[in-house]
Amino acid sequence: MSSNPKLKDNLRAAILAEPDAVLDDKDLMQALVAANEHARGSNIIDLRGIAMQRLEDRLDRLEDTHRSVIAAAYENLAGTNQVHRAILRLLEPMEFEDFLRTLGQDVAEILRVDHITLVLETTAGQNDPAVARLGGVLRIVEPGFIDRYLTRDRTAPLREITLREILHPDPRIYGEHTTPLRSEACLKLDFGPGRLPGMIVMGAKDPRHFTPQLGTDLLAFFAGVFERSMRHWLS
């Protein structure tokens, strides 16, 4: 008579009926491998067990990578949907002032930024009553201001989309909204031959909301659509 304990008949029958369930159960398989190593003793190196452990570690890393890729894909899809919704909302207004108010209010809310400013360079004064009415979203500046703001008087190359952290928000851009904003996205705008440039500035309270490491494709697409809409209003 064997001294080894035997499985109960019902448990043995269950395992024989569904052996795949045992193989698919990671915790159960680890327990069986550990029991096998214990039975072998400490003087025997189980190369197969070591290989299995390494394969399990690699599988765990692959699963983590897989989850990260899926999360990034969903985040990118959500960002694309946000930009599309913002553009559709921006195309609805029939009057120019409503168009700019939509940019500063509805579009800012859809894109989940804390403030949006449209900066326009002009040689004219700022006495237009419309400028005063739209002071929350529209800023009028002298020619050359936008390039200086984007490069901050440094020799850094000028980019169409600039993402950066800000420690001291410029009141000429943000006005009364300067204190809580800690990062910004600057979208330079080209309104066509013979016209001075413009710029959309999106400000956020989170210093990591806009960082140079982020992709700019969606913002560039938004800027391109806005440029074409502005050309329509300016014509």
Q: How many residues would you count in the chain? A: 235
Q: What is the pLDDT of residues 167-200, one digit of tens each?
A: 888 988 988 765 689 999 999 999 989 899 999 9
DSSP conformation letters of 64-133 = HHHHHHHHHHHHHHHHHHHHHHHHHHHT--SSHHHHHHHIIIIIHHHHT-SEEEEEEE-SS-S--HHHHH
| CA–CA gap between residue 165 and residue 167 (Å, rounded) | 7
Q: Considering the chain, what is the average pLDDT of its residues?
A: 81
Mapped onto helix, strand or coil, the DSSP state of residue 162 is strand
Domain-by-domain residue ranges, the chain? 92-234
pTM: 0.67
Give the model's confidence band at 64: pLDDT under 50 very low, under 70 low, under 90 confident, else very high: confident
- Is pLDDT above 90 for 225? yes
Q: What is the pLDDT of residues 32-47, one digit of tens each?
A: 767 766 666 555 556 5
Q: Which CATH superfamily is domain 92-234 in?
A: GAF domain (3.30.450.40)
